[in-house]
Amino acid sequence: MTTAKQYETIAQSLDWEGLRSLWADIEARQTPGWDAGKAFEYLIIRAFQLDGAEVKYPYSVRLFGEELEQVDGVVYYSGLSCLVESKDLAGRVNVDIAPIAKLRNQLLRRPASTLGLVFSRTGFTEPSRHLYHFSSPQTILLWSGEEIKYALERESICELLVLKYRVCVENGLSNYDVRERDIP
């Protein structure tokens, strides 16, 4: 069984080309050496790290010797602090509201300025795209697989995070598709 530290070492050895190759493997459901969903979790955090963000790879929060929660990663960039939740479901199943609700509960224990980022390889169900509004006052930004692919192709995910955050501030949209507007 591969440890979290071993996964982190593998992820940190990947450059942008390596991440694009891993993304193709994830989409093809061909990730030998990775437990289910782990390649996706580490790909997301490594992309932010390659783009200049300070990151913390997946970890567990323990209280009184017991695991309280599992966090898929943390991203710090341009004054933003973000908890990450990554979902790579089998097949073409879209993510429902459960991971968004889980992240909302995790955010309740953090400073109010902490953002939530939910990444889904396959996208989100229609109800989850509407029910994220119930996560208020916590801000949770939704990222689809197509947006991740877009970021990997451009070797830029941090600027897209800032764009997504600004659209959320200006228009109240947590599920803005960053492919709609190119960054100059």
- pLDDT tens-digit series, residues 134-168: 556 678 898 999 999 999 999 999 999 999 999 98
CATH code for the domain defined by 4-180: 3.40.1350.10
* Percentage of the chain modeled with pLDDT above 90: 57
User: What is the CB neighbour count within 10 angstroms for residue 81?
Assistant: 14
141 has which bridge partners? Answer: 117
Distance, in Å, from the CA atom of 121 to the CA atom of 37, rounded to the nearest integer, reads 10
Question: 60: helix, coil or strand?
Answer: strand
Q: Which pair of structure tokens corresponds to residue 21?
A: 């190759």
The per-residue pLDDT for range 43-85, each reduced to its tens digit, is: 999 999 999 999 999 999 988 989 889 999 999 999 999 999 9
Distance, in Å, from the CA atom of 54 to the CA atom of 74, rounded to the nearest integer, reads 8
H-helix or E-strand containing 120? strand 115-120
What is the band of 132 on the pLDDT scale with cuts at 50, 70, 90? low
Assess contact for 76 and 54: CB atoms under 8 A. Answer: yes
Residue 182 has pLDDT above 60, yes or no: no
Distance, in Å, from the CA atom of 159 to the CA atom of 183, rounded to the nearest integer, reads 8
State the average pLDDT for the chain.
Answer: 88
- Residue 22 CA, chain-centre distance (Å), reads 15
**Domains in the chain: boundaries:** 4-180
Residue 92 has pLDDT above 80, yes or no: no
